[in-house]
């Protein structure tokens, strides 16, 4: 692996029966970058995310995540196929967090609880020390609550702390999902259409927050987004998918001028996609 | 729609008519023509009565739907059914400081005032509270449907009975070991099934409950088969609660120079059980705010999201399943001690159904609700003895109605309140 | 090994398996279309056994002598009434719960199951019921001591099951209703958009499942002649096992799974132990779930994220 990269996807192919959702997809995500994955609906972007985060087992190809603090790189497929204990949760533990295109919050739990669940692996899970209220346990819980409120402040959700997640307005639910992903302490956070359904002001606000996450909190961002101005504005690297294949990759300027992208994607549907 | 128009009776009447005919078809043969050997004994009035009641209900509903009052009623219910869960404000627990000691005081004094019959019922009721709390962890918190909960109850009860017979185990040893054994059973059964998604757990546990009963019934040499096995009286500091000491100690009444009475054993069982239940309640209240309890509820809400947060869903589900099994095993030890004897008929499917009814009525996840439901569902039938035949019928109807009207139960748990440290 | 015992157990297994297959159809179709285990299905089968006995008794009370006529009328009546049961159960207990929590329809189904069992127990009494044996006659191969036999009822069971299965396959594969069923199974939302009344299709599936269970109920009653209000419980679990073994959601799978399970179970009780045959069938369920959750003919499920 190139030490400048956090993630390397090589020859990723994903088939569902006869449907080929991803075909020979390769791209890199550099350490500390904001990388965007764009493409028309049905291009296979979410499927790439599902492979990265271990929800799907890729039919072919490899996904390598750089090791933490000098450790050897991890292969996502390998984490899934570990006997007995393998599973997508190991990918999350390795440092990839995500949000979902259709928001998946714990709707009947409070906002803070959503964030505490995300810290499950950092808290004291021992039932005995919890039942006896040991100091170690209480300290871990206090730290967890502090961290939860920290991320609520970052995402400007503090006044909603003690509301049910399901009753928040849509835009706030999106932000809460990002806060929840950040609570796992990830190195790479994958955002699946975080601006979908937001109004222009909320979108601008979101763009700022994503940059803030990267600049202040040192997390690498991989994002799927349809809003071209948002994507062009904040990302350093763009990968364009169409019909499951990478048709262009590069910085915003290169992608904007790529003939393949113009015909396949930006061309006739530019306005429509931008406004959606 | 028709909020201001006067209600029309034509549509409801037609619907009620259709309902009447359907109800006649459904209830007619089974309730109207009773098999008597190879011939038939007609009871034609019964299906007519049932169908009329059903149709009348449908008519009433149809008319009510059209009146403003009825619409308000329905709308309110719909709203409650969808949400209903709220977050605590963080200051409503003051009342508990009075209520909890009061309840404990009543609980402790009850055995000294109740007669033997009611003391027995109280013990049974508390056993069901324990069972309800255990199943509530599995169904209410973790959202896993366990239809063979009674199997773990049986494991606990038989552990004491057979352990005493073969290994010379006593009440206190069983109290510690039986829950562990039940948890092991839970792990062995749960691990393979919990690894896949879908509702297979429900049917596998349903089968498992039946299997345990079959094995207890058929393994004559080991379990005593349908005749069951006897259970030794409990001891306290080596003093036995029996007329003559069988386990080499002194009987309780002789030591204190009292007249022998089986009440002592019941009182003892009750008091130990009460302590266990209180500890359990305390533990469960804490658990809902502990990482494990939160993870269970999160898993019930959305398993995929949990996995994306690095939660090992299999282990978390398994821990809930094992905790439930443990509680079931614990309850089994008390049941065996109380009865002094166990046999397979105590552990049939209807027992599982009763426990599930307790959890459903109590409100999937609410500790207080489950306690109240357990007390009501076990003590009420004692009062209404003449309706004993209809008990299971009522439980079935109750489950369906609760799922339609109040899927979160009668008492809805509040979410805990959190504040940052300043 | 005694070959005649083996032969006899195979015949018995085939009969038993056809029954499991018929009941499994109800589980598999309902699971395929709304993704829930219909726990009340075993009890619908139990109801149909009672309806069979009642119908036969009524017919004989009216002086009907012809056995084939009585059986045909009984089968028709039982299928109709049981079908109404299937329809009503879906309408009352499952339809209001669409879009509710995942657990709600399962609990509701258990409620209906308890309700049916207790209703029959209260209405008909808890005692074992029975009918006289109506069809005698056997086909027999072998000498007087060692022989393999198949009674006419057993043959009827196998023929009727395969007939019903063939009819149902034709219905699903060739008719417009069948096409709508398959479309709804694939994607309920999309089917709805295309103008299919999916509520009606779901109801239809419940009716079909119940009617198939009714055929099974009638045939079993003719064969064994004895039943009580609890027969639906264990038979239901086994039929579900058959559905999982064949691949849940697959119609041919249900029949295949049923026959395999019937054969396994017969062989087990013939050569190993009769008392534990239910334990054995249940172990089959767990083993299949562990090693091949998609069954023999089912497609592996990909979860939607
Ligand atoms: N679980 C699945 N089973 C079958 N097909 C799928 C599945 N997930 C995605 N697909 C197919 O893969 C293609 C790409 O989908 P997706 O990745 O969601 O696109 P995008 O996110 O770019 O809009 C679509 O044709 C979709 O139908
Ligand atoms: Mg997508």
Torsion angles phi and psi, residue A190, rounded to 5:
-105, 120
Ligand 2 center from residue A182 Cα (angstroms): 21
Ligand 1 center from residue A175 Cα (angstroms): 25
Nearest-atom index, ligand 1, CA of A16: 4
Residue given tokens 């869903």 in the structure block: B313
B258 CB burial (10 A radius; 0-12, 13-18, 19+): exposed
The string of pLDDT tens digits covering residues A225-240 is: 888 888 888 889 999 8
Return all residues near C125 (Cβ < 8 A) that are at least 6 apart.
B34, B35
- Among B44-53, B263-272, B405-414, which stretch is predicted with the lowest mean pLDDT? B405-414
A-chain residues near C303 (CB < 8 A): 55
Paired with B341 in beta bridges are B230
Return all residues near A139 (Cβ < 8 A) that are at least 6 apart.
none
Mean pLDDT of A159-164: 87
Looking at the domain assignment, is residue C50 inside a domain? yes
- The per-residue pLDDT for A265 is 64
Interface test with chain C among B219, B403, B404, B412, by most C beta carbons within 10 Å: B403
- Residue in C299, C300, C302 to alter for ligand 1 test, most ligand atoms within 8 A of Cβ: C302
Residue B363 in tokens: 């409100």
Distance from CA of B174 to the nearest CA of A (A): 21
**B358 with B132: CB under 8 angstroms?**
yes
- The per-residue pLDDT for A266 is 53
- The per-residue pLDDT for A273 is 45
**Longest C-alpha distance within chain C, in Å?**
66
Nearest-atom index, ligand 1, CA of C304: 1
- Ligand 1 within 6 A of A102 CB? no
The string of pLDDT tens digits covering residues C135-177 is: 788 887 777 777 888 888 888 889 999 998 889 889 888 898 8
* Nearest partner of A222 among A65, A41, A58, A15, judged by Cα: A65
The string of pLDDT tens digits covering residues C21-39 is: 999 998 988 888 888 889 8
pTM for the model stands at: 0.86
Query: Which of B95-109, B110-124, C9-23 is modeled with the greatest confidence?
Result: C9-23
Paired with B42 in beta bridges are B33
* Domain topology for B86-354: ABC transporter involved in vitamin B12 uptake, BtuC (1.10.3470)
**HEC per residue, C79-140:** HHHHHHHHHHHHHHHHHHHCCCCCHHHHHHHHHHHHHHHHHHHHHHCCCCEECCCCCCCEEE
Ligand number with the minimum distance to the CA of A38? 1
- Ligand 1 within 6 A of A47 CB? yes
- Ligand 1 within 6 A of A276 CB? no
Tell me the percentage of chain B whose pLDDT exceeds 90.
15
Nearest-atom index, ligand 1, CA of A41: 23
pLDDT over threshold 80, residue A14: yes
Chains in contact with A, counting 3 or more C-beta pairs less than 8 Å apart as contact: B, C
Ligand 1 center from residue C301 Cα (angstroms): 15
Work out the pLDDT band at B81, boundaries 50, 70, 90: very low
- The per-residue pLDDT for B253 is 64
C-alpha span between B162 and B225 (Å, rounded):
12
Looking at the domain assignment, is residue C301 inside a domain? no
pLDDT over threshold 70, residue B2: no
Residue A260 in tokens: 């393949």
Nearest-atom index, ligand 1, CA of A241: 22
**B131 with B149: CB under 8 angstroms?**
yes
Nearest-atom index, ligand 1, CA of A17: 4
Work out the pLDDT band at B255, boundaries 50, 70, 90: low
- The per-residue pLDDT for A275 is 41
- Ligand 1 within 6 A of C300 CB? no
DSSP H helical segments within chain A, as ranges? 45-52, 76-80, 88-94, 111-118, 127-132, 135-154, 170-183, 200-217, 228-234, 252-257, 259-261, 270-275
Per the model's pLDDT, the better-predicted residue between B293 and B85 turns out to be B293
B-chain residues near C81 (CB < 8 A): 25-26, 29
Per the model's pLDDT, the better-predicted residue between A144 and A83 turns out to be A144
Cβ contact, residue pair A133, B286, below 8 Å: yes
C282 CB burial (10 A radius; 0-12, 13-18, 19+): buried
**B161 with B342: CB under 8 angstroms?**
yes
Tell me the percentage of chain B whose pLDDT exceeds 70.
87
Work out the pLDDT band at B324, boundaries 50, 70, 90: very high
Residue given tokens 């191969």 in the structure block: C141
**C289 with C244: CB under 8 angstroms?**
yes
Domain of residue C120, CATH code = 1.10.3470
* Nearest partner of C32 among C252, C192, C287, judged by Cα: C252
Helix pair B96-113, B263-287: axis angle to 10 deg: 160
Q: Give the 3-state secondary structure of residue A51.
A: helix
- Ligand 1 within 6 A of A41 CB? yes
C-alpha span between C272 and C185 (Å, rounded):
41
Considering chain A, what is the average pLDDT of its residues? 85
A-chain residues near C305 (CB < 8 A): 46, 50, 55-56, 100
Considering only CB atoms, B298 lies closest to which of A87, A100, A106, namely A106
- The per-residue pLDDT for C234 is 87
Ligand 2 center from residue A47 Cα (angstroms): 7
B-chain residues near C293 (CB < 8 A): 196, 200
Looking at the domain assignment, is residue C209 inside a domain? yes
Residue C186 in tokens: 């694939």
- Ligand 1 within 6 A of A42 CB? yes
Residue in chain C lying closest to B138 (CA): C103
The residue whose CA has the least distance to atom 17 of ligand 1 is: A44
C-alpha span between B333 and B81 (Å, rounded):
38
Cβ contact, residue pair C305, A16, below 8 Å: no
Number of residues written out for chain B = 422
- Among A178-182, A210-214, B31-35, C204-208, which stretch is predicted with the lowest mean pLDDT? B31-35
Ligand number with the minimum distance to the CA of A40? 1
Return all residues near B354 (Cβ < 8 A) that are at least 6 apart.
B128, B377, B395
C-alpha span between B105 and B87 (Å, rounded):
30
The residue whose CA has the least distance to atom 10 of ligand 1 is: A21
Alpha-carbon distance values, B255 to A68, A184, C123 (Å) = 68, 61, 55
**HEC per residue, B161-193:** HHHHHHHCCCHHHHHHHHHHHHHHHHHHHHHHH
The string of pLDDT tens digits covering residues B333-354 is: 999 989 888 888 888 888 888 8
Query: Which of B177-191, B245-259, B403-417 is modeled with the greatest confidence?
Result: B177-191
**C17 with C261: CB under 8 angstroms?**
yes
A-chain residues near B187 (CB < 8 A): none
Alpha-carbon distance values, C13 to A190, C18, C23, C267 (Å) = 55, 8, 15, 7
- Among A187-201, B73-87, B254-268, which stretch is predicted with the lowest mean pLDDT? B73-87
**B35 with C129: CB under 8 angstroms?**
yes
Considering only CB atoms, B40 lies closest to which of C61, C122, C303, namely C61
Work out the pLDDT band at A58, boundaries 50, 70, 90: confident
Residue contacts between A and B (CB atoms, under 8 Å):
133
**C61 with C298: CB under 8 angstroms?**
no
Considering only CB atoms, A142 lies closest to which of B85, B295, B421, namely B421
pLDDT over threshold 80, residue C235: yes
Residue C176 in tokens: 């417009």
Mean pLDDT of B108-126: 82
Residue given tokens 């949990």 in the structure block: B306
Report the CATH superfamily, name and number, of domain A1-95+186-275. P-loop containing nucleotide triphosphate hydrolases (3.40.50.300)
pLDDT over threshold 80, residue B9: no
Residue A269 in tokens: 């549907």
* Nearest partner of C29 among C211, C290, C259, judged by Cα: C211
Nearest-atom index, ligand 1, CA of A50: 17
The DSSP letter of residue B418 is -
Work out the pLDDT band at B298, boundaries 50, 70, 90: very high
- Ligand 1 within 6 A of A88 CB? no
The string of pLDDT tens digits covering residues B21-42 is: 888 888 888 888 888 877 788 8
Q: Where in chain A is the domain with CATH 3.40.50.300?
A: 1-95+186-275
Mean pLDDT of B55-81: 73
Considering chain C, what is the average pLDDT of its residues? 87
Instruction: Indicate whether this complex's ipTM tops 0.90.
Output: no
Nearest-atom index, ligand 1, CA of A43: 22
Residue in chain A lying closest to B421 (CA): A146
Looking at the domain assignment, is residue C132 inside a domain? yes
Domain hosting C207: range is 3-291
The residue whose CA has the least distance to atom 5 of ligand 1 is: A16
**B318 with B187: CB under 8 angstroms?**
yes
The residue whose CA has the least distance to atom 3 of ligand 1 is: A16
pLDDT over threshold 80, residue B48: yes
- The per-residue pLDDT for B92 is 64
Cβ contact, residue pair A149, B291, below 8 Å: no
Residue B51 in tokens: 């169908």
C-chain residues near B390 (CB < 8 A): 118, 122
pLDDT over threshold 50, residue B155: yes
Looking at the domain assignment, is residue C304 inside a domain? no
Per the model's pLDDT, the better-predicted residue between B37 and C73 turns out to be C73
Paired with A240 in beta bridges are A38, A248
Contacts made by residues B241-249, CB under 8 angstroms, sequence distance 24+: B241/B265, B241/B268, B247/B170
Say if B87 is an interface residue toward chain A (CB within 8 Å): yes
Looking at the domain assignment, is residue C231 inside a domain? yes
Cβ contact, residue pair B143, C58, below 8 Å: no
Looking at the domain assignment, is residue C216 inside a domain? yes
Q: How do the domains of chain B map onto residue ranges?
A: 10-82, 86-354
The string of pLDDT tens digits covering residues B193-225 is: 787 766 788 888 888 888 888 888 888 888 887
Torsion angles phi and psi, residue C68, rounded to 5:
-60, -40
Cβ contact, residue pair B30, C114, below 8 Å: no
- Ligand 1 within 6 A of A19 CB? yes
- Ligand 1 within 6 A of A44 CB? yes
B110 CB neighbour count, 10 Å cutoff: 16
Distance from CA of A132 to the nearest CA of C (A): 33
DSSP string over B314-372? HHHHHHHHHHHHHHHHHHHHHHHHHHTEE-GGGGSHHHHHHHHHHHHHHTTT-HHHHHH
Looking at the domain assignment, is residue C297 inside a domain? no
Residue A57: alpha-carbon gap to chain centroid: 17
The total number of structural domains in chain C stands at 1
The residue whose CA has the least distance to atom 20 of ligand 1 is: A42
Work out the pLDDT band at C297, boundaries 50, 70, 90: confident
pLDDT over threshold 80, residue C46: yes
Alpha-carbon distance values, A58 to A18, A49, B300 (Å) = 15, 11, 27
């Amino acid at each position: 692996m190139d030490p400048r990269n956090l993630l390397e996807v090589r020859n990723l192919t994903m088939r569902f029966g006869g449907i080929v959702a991803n075909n020979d997809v390769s791209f890199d995500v550099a350490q500390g970058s904001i990388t965007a994955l764009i493409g028309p609906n049905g291009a296979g972007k979410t499927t790439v995310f599902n492979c990265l985060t271990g929800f799907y087992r890729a039919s072919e190809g490899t996904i390598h995540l750089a090791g933490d603090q000098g450790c050897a790189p991890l292969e996502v497929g390998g984490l899934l196929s570990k006997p007995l204990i393998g599973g997508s949760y190991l990918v999350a533990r390795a440092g990839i967090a995500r949000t979902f295109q259709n928001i998946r919050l714990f709707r009947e739990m409070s906002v803070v609880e959503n964030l505490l669940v995300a810290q499950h692996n950092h808290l004291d899970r021992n039932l005995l020390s919890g039942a006896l209220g040991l100091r170690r346990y209480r300290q871990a819980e206090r730290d967890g609550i502090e961290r939860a409120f920290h991320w609520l402040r970052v995402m400007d959700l503090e006044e909603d702390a003690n509301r049910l997640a399901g009753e928040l307005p849509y835009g706030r639910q999106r932000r809460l999902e990002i806060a929840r992903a950040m609570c796992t302490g990830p190195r790479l956070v994958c955002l699946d259409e975080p601006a979908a359904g937001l109004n222009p002001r909320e979108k601008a606000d979101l763009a700022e927050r994503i940059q803030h996450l990267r600049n202040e909190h040192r997390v690498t961002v991989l994002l799927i987004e349809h809003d071209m101005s948002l994507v062009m504005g904040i990302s350093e690297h763009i990968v364009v998918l169409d019909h499951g294949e990478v048709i262009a990759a590069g910085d915003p300027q290169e992608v904007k001028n790529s003939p393949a992208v113009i015909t396949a994607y930006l061309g006739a549907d530019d306005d429509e996609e931008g406004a959606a | 729609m028709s909020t201001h128009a006067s209600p029309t009776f034509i549509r409801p009447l037609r619907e009620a008519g259709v309902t009447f005919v359907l109800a006649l078809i459904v209830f007619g043969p089974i309730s109207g023509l009773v098999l008597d050997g190879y011939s038939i004994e007609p009871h034609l009035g019964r299906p007519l009565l049932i169908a009329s009641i059903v149709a009348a209900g449908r008519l009433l509903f149809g008319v009510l739907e059209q009146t403003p009052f009825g619409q308000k009623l329905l709308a309110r219910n719909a709203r409650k059914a969808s949400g209903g869960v709220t977050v605590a404000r963080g200051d409503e627990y003051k009342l508990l400081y009075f209520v909890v000691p009061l309840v404990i005081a009543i609980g402790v004094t009850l055995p000294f005032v109740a007669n033997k019959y009611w003391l027995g019922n109280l013990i049974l009721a508390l056993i069901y509270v324990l069972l309800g709390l255990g199943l509530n962890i599995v169904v209410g918190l973790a959202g896993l449907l366990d239809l063979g909960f009674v199997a773990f109850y049986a494991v606990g009860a038989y552990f004491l009975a057979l352990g005493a017979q073969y290994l010379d185990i006593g009440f206190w040893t069983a109290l510690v070991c039986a829950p562990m054994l039940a948890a092991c059973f839970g792990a062995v059964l749960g691990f393979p099934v919990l690894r896949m998604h879908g509702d297979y757990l429900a049917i596998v546990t349903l089968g498992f409950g039946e299997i345990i009963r079959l094995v207890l019934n058929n393994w004559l040499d080991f379990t005593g088969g349908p005749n069951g096995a006897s259970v030794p009286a409990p001891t306290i500091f080596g003093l036995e609660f029996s007329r003559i000491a069988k386990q080499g100690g002194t009987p309780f009444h002789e030591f204190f120079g009292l007249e022998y009475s089986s009440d002592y054993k019941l009182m003892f069982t009750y008091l130990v059980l009460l302590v266990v239940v209180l500890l359990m309640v305390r533990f469960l209240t804490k658990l809902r705010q502990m990482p494990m309890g939160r993870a269970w509820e999160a898993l019930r809400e959305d398993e995929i999201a949990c996995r994306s947060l690095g939660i090992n869903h299999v282990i978390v589900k398994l821990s809930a399943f094992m905790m439930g099994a443990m509680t079931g095993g614990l309850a089994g030890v008390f049941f065996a001690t109380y009865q002094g004897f166990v046999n397979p008929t105590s552990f049939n499917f209807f027992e599982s159904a009763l426990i599930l009814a307790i959890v459903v009525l109590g409100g999937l996840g609410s500790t207080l609700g489950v306690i109240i439901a357990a007390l009501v569902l076990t003590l009420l039938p004692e009062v209404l003895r003449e309706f004993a035949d209809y008990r299971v019928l009522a439980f079935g109807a109750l489950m369906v109605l609760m799922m339609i009207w109040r899927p979160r139960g009668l008492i809805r748990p509040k979410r805990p309140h959190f504040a940052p440290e300043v | 090994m005694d070959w005649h015992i083996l032969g006899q157990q195979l015949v018995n297994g085939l009969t038993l398996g056809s029954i499991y297959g018929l009941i499994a159809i109800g589980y598999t179709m309902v699971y395929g279309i709304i993704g829930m285990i219909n726990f009340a299905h075993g009890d619908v089968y139990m109801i149909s056994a009672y309806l069979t006995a009642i119908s036969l008794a009524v017919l004989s009370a009216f002086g009907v002598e012809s056995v084939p006529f009585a059986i045909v009328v009984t089968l028709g009546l039982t299928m109709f009434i049981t079908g109404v049961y299937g329809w009503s159960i879906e309408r009352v207990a499952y339809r209001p719960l669409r879009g509710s929590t995942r657990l709600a329809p399962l609990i509701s189904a258990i409620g209906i199951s308890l309700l049916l069992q207790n209703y029959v127990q209260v209405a008909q009494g808890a005692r074992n019921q029975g009918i006289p044996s109506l069809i005698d006659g056997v086909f027999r191969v072998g000498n007087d001591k060692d022989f393999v036999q198949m009674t006419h009822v057993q043959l009827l069971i196998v023929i009727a099951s395969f007939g019903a299965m063939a009819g149902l396959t034709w219905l699903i594969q060739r008719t417009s209703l069948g096409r709508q069923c398959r479309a709804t199974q694939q994607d309920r939302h999309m089917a709805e958009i295309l103008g299919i009344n999916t509520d009606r299709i779901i109801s239809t599936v419940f009716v079909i499942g119940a009617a198939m269970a009714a055929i099974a109920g009638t045939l079993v009653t003719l064969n064994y002649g004895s039943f009580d209000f609890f027969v639906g419980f264990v038979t239901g679990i086994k039929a579900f096992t058959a559905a999982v073994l064949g691949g849940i959601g697959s119609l041919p799978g249900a029949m295949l799974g049923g026959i395999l399970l019937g054969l396994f179970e017969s062989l087990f009780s013939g050569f190993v132990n009769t008392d534990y045959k239910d334990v054995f069938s249940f172990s089959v369920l767990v083993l299949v779930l562990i090693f091949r959750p998609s069954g023999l003919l089912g497609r592996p499920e990909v979860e939607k994220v």
